[in-house]
Amino acid sequence: MQHVGLKARMAVVGSILFAFYALVAIIAVEAFGVGIPIVLLGTIGFAGFQYVVGKKVALWSAGAEDMPEERYPDIHRAVERIADDMNLDKPRLMVADMGVPNAFAVGRRGAGVVVVSSELIRLLDRDELEGVLAHELAHIDNRDVIMMVMGQSIASMLGLAAYFAIAFSREGGIGNIVLGYLASVVVQMVAMVFVLAISRYREYVADSDAAQHVGGDAMARALQKISTAGQRSNAELDDNVAALCIFGGERSSLERIFATHPPIERRIAAVRDVERSYY
Per-residue model confidence as pLDDT tens for the chain (279 residues) = 567 777 787 777 777 777 777 776 776 666 566 666 776 776 677 667 767 777 888 888 889 999 999 999 999 999 999 999 999 999 999 999 988 899 999 988 888 999 999 999 999 999 999 999 999 999 999 888 877 777 777 788 788 877 877 777 666 678 788 888 898 888 888 888 877 777 788 889 999 999 988 888 899 999 999 988 877 766 666 666 777 777 665 554 445 556 777 888 899 998 887 666 554
Catalytic residue among 119, 130, 136, 203: 136
Closest CA to 203 of 125, 258, 260: 260
pLDDT at position 252: 46
Model pTM score:
0.81
In the residue annotation, 136 being an active-site residue is answered as yes
pLDDT at residue 215, as a whole number: 85
- At 256 the pLDDT is 57
List the domain boundaries for the chain.
4-61+144-276
Distances (CA, A) of 75 to 118, 132, 145, 180, 223: 12, 11, 22, 49, 18
Mapping DSSP to helix (H, G, I), strand (E, B) and coil, where does residue 114 land? strand
For residues 144 and 138, give the distance between their C-alpha atoms in angstroms, rounded to a whole number: 9
Is residue 101 classed as helix, strand or coil in its secondary structure? coil
Output the furthest CA–CA distance in the chain (Å, rounded).
Answer: 68
Query: CB-hemisphere CA count at 13 Å for 125?
Result: 12
